[in-house]
């Protein structure tokens, strides 16, 4: 059965430092996609980055990169040069084929000035 | 291009009542998914509709139902409301096209906050 685990309920990071948010997953389907979303206190869900199971290279989108380690079934989000506006809840999610998307419990990130 | 819209944004109901929430996807998007978000359970998948057909369903009781219209707008209905149904209900739309693969980006609406008293 598909499963997403985010082991860090909360993190405090100094502004301008890099941040790594952990995500591990479990699936027996060889075809899947991994996503990261950001949810600020205002509540809207914002798509950040996507990684496909067959993608050879790690995905990057601006300051966001996804450290995809397929053998370890991990898909950690790396935020470079963190900013105060990065303070939010971050969710890792996975979809197997055309199946349902499941989300992890999330990590609340606090950026300190 | 207008984003995903959800109406109403806030709703207060009492136990036993029923409620209908509406979601208008981004123009051209054919897939609409619904999620329930609570502090205790996090984000839980309710169902996904694609071209008026339910494509996926989460583990929710039959009190939760949905539908999608020919213009891709979707509604979800919760009958016989319980206190535990208080949550933020999020709708997300995506292209859902096979050519784009199943992993195209989902765009979320602002949500409907339902309070059951």
Which of A101, A105, A107, A108 has the highest number of chain B CBs within 10 A, making it the mutation to test binding with B?
A: A101
For residue A48, the chain B residues in CB contact (below 8 A) are none
Cβ pair B103:A98 closer than 8 A: no
What's the pLDDT tens digit per position in B18-76?
A: 999 999 999 988 999 999 999 888 899 999 999 899 988 999 999 999 999 999 999 99
For residue B83, pLDDT beyond 70: yes
User: What does the mean pLDDT of chain B come to?
Assistant: 91
Is the distance from CB of B14 to CB of B116 less than 8 angstroms? yes
For residue B97, pLDDT beyond 70: no
Cβ pair A91:B48 closer than 8 A: no
Cβ pair B102:A45 closer than 8 A: no
- CB proximity B39 to A under 8 Å: no
Structure tokens at A77: 């989000």
- What does the pLDDT profile of chain A (113 residues) look like in tens digits? 779 999 999 999 999 999 999 999 999 888 889 999 999 998 889 999 999 898 889 999 999 999 999 999 999 999 999 999 999 999 999 988 777 889 999 999 999 99
Cβ pair A106:B111 closer than 8 A: no
Shortest distance between the Cα of B78 and any Cα of chain A, in A, equals 20
pLDDT at B65: 96
Is the distance from CB of B78 to CB of B62 less than 8 angstroms? no
Is the distance from CB of B50 to CB of B117 less than 8 angstroms? no
Helices (H) and strands (E) counted in chain B, each on its own, are 0, 11
């Amino acid at each position: 059965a598909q499963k997403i685990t985010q082991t860090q309920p909360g993190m405090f990071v100094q502004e301008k430092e890099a941040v790594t948010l952990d995500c591990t997953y479990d699936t027996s389907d060889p075809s899947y996609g991994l996503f990261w979303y950001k949810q600020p206190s205002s509540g809207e869900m914002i798509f950040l980055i996507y990684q496909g199971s067959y993608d050879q290279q790690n995905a990057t989108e601006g300051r966001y990169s996804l450290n995809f380690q397929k053998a370890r079934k991990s898909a950690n989000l790396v935020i470079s040069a963190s900013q105060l506006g990065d303070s939010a809840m971050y969710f890792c999610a996975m979809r197997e084929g055309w199946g349902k998307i499941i989300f992890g419990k999330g990590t609340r990130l606090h950026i300190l000035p | 291009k207008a984003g995903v819209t959800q109406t109403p944004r806030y709703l207060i109901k009492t136990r036993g009542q029923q409620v209908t929430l509406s979601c208008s996807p981004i123009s051209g998007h054919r897939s609409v998914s619904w999620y329930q978000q609570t502090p205790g359970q996090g984000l839980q998948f309710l169902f996904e509709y694609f071209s008026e057909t339910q494509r996926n369903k989460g583990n929710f009781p039959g009190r939760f139902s949905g539908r999608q219209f020919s213009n891709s707008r979707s509604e979800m209905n919760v009958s016989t409301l319980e206190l535990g149904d208080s949550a933020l209900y999020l709708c997300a739309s995506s292209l859902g096209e096979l050519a784009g693969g199943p992993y195209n980006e989902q765009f979320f609406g602002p949500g409907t906050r339902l309070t059951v008293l």
